[in-house]
Amino acid sequence: MATVADTRPAFRVASPTGSRELALVLAILAAGAVFTYVSPYFLTVNNLVQTMRAGLELGIVSAGMTLVIIMGGIDVSVGGILAVSAIVIGKAYQFGLPVYVVAPLGLATGTALGALNGTITAKLKVPPIIATLGSMYIFSAIMFLVIGGTWISGLPGTLSPLVNGWVGFVPASAIVLAVVFGALWVILRKLPFGNHIYAIGCNEHSARLVGINVDRTKIKTYALLGFLAGLAALLYVARLRNVEINIGTMIALEAIAATILGGTNIRGGVGSLLGTLLGVVFIRIMQNGLVLIGVSSLWETVIIGALLIIVLTVDAVRNRKNPRSV
């Protein structure tokens, strides 16, 4: 029986995403220098810590999105998964349930919704963009049916130290983010499951031929993204102690943008968690800096969308010059 070759990028200086990561580092430094010059508030400990805390949910969701896109999929419904999970968490708190029940309930909700997306794409063969677009509308409808036009507010702050606290001189949110990215790095780089994700993204047909259970891997990967969306919802509630009616509306676009900006190929097979993390940092720095210098928040979306179009255009040209063999 054929064996599965290791399709993960070798750990070398010239990695497939190395040039994109270097470009992002330079862009972050340049943006930071400009915003520091324009605003005296940008390069302060308080502003940088608050920016990191505000980017915690995006970082966690983007990490999971990286795995899905490496596999050749996409999930535009992840904001809805986060929203529904947050509503379940908020309502569970309102019913008086303890945190050791609320937390698993929120994580289970996200995991189940993610697995549903995976099942639709894997078993029913619905293209991921179509399946998750439909799910997005369903999850949004559920959110509005449950909470209408009101917030769920006044929730307990039992888990707030995970986001707003400190461990010595290190913000707790930085540790949470490091644990999430570290765990996913182990999955992608050290476990057979990670090799299967890369293999499916490179060539799904070949992955089936060498014995990879493609459907099961897809379902598990989407379920993992759902779990991370549930975790992001839990930390969102811990940070703000409420559930807003517009929760999660932009996080899917931002997560996809961070992932693609970080060098993950939209066609699958190539991706970098480090690149994604740098993409998250760049997006949050741009958003924070624009606010500090008085630019309308509407321009944040315009800039992110424009950057995404530019990067995808560059990738498309590169793919035409170097077509993938199938």
The domains found in the chain, sorted by start residue, are 18-316 (1.10.3470)
The pLDDT tens digits of the residues spanning 247-294 come to 998 999 999 999 999 999 999 999 999 999 999 999 999 999 999 999
> Can you give the pTM of this predicted structure?
0.92
What pLDDT was estimated at residue 149? Answer: 74
3-state secondary structure of 167: strand
What pLDDT was estimated at residue 245? Answer: 84
Is the pLDDT at 5 greater than 70? The verdict is no
| pLDDT over 70 percentage in the chain | 93
Contact present, 273 and 62 (Cβ < 8 Å): no
- At a CB cut-off of 8 Å and minimum separation 6, what does 17 contact? 9, 262, 263, 264, 270, 271, 272, 274, 275
* Residue 268 vs residues 18, 98, 140, 186, 199: alpha-carbon distances, Å: 16, 41, 28, 19, 9
* CA 311 – CA 262 distance, rounded (Å): 10
What pLDDT was estimated at residue 319? Answer: 72
Please, which residues bridge with residue 166 across strands?
A: 171
* Burial of residue 291 (number of CB atoms within 10 Å: 0-12, 13-18, 19+): middle
Q: What is the amino acid identity at position 286?
A: M
CA 133 to chain centre: 16
Stretch 143-171: mean pLDDT: 91
- At a CB cut-off of 8 Å and minimum separation 6, what does 222 contact? 68, 73, 75, 114, 115, 117, 118, 121
3-state secondary structure of 166: strand
The counts of H helices and E strands in the chain are 14, 2
What pLDDT was estimated at residue 7? Answer: 58
* CA 52 – CA 56 distance, rounded (Å): 6
At residue 136 the predicted structure's pLDDT band, cuts being 50, 70 and 90, is very high
* CB atoms closer than 10 angstroms to residue 65: 31
* Residue 12 vs residues 18, 69, 195: alpha-carbon distances, Å: 9, 22, 17
Is the pLDDT at 13 greater than 50? The verdict is no
Question: Which one has a higher pLDDT value, 216 or 322?
Answer: 216
Question: Which one has a higher pLDDT value, 149 or 156?
Answer: 156
H helix or E strand, kind and range, residue 171: strand 170-171
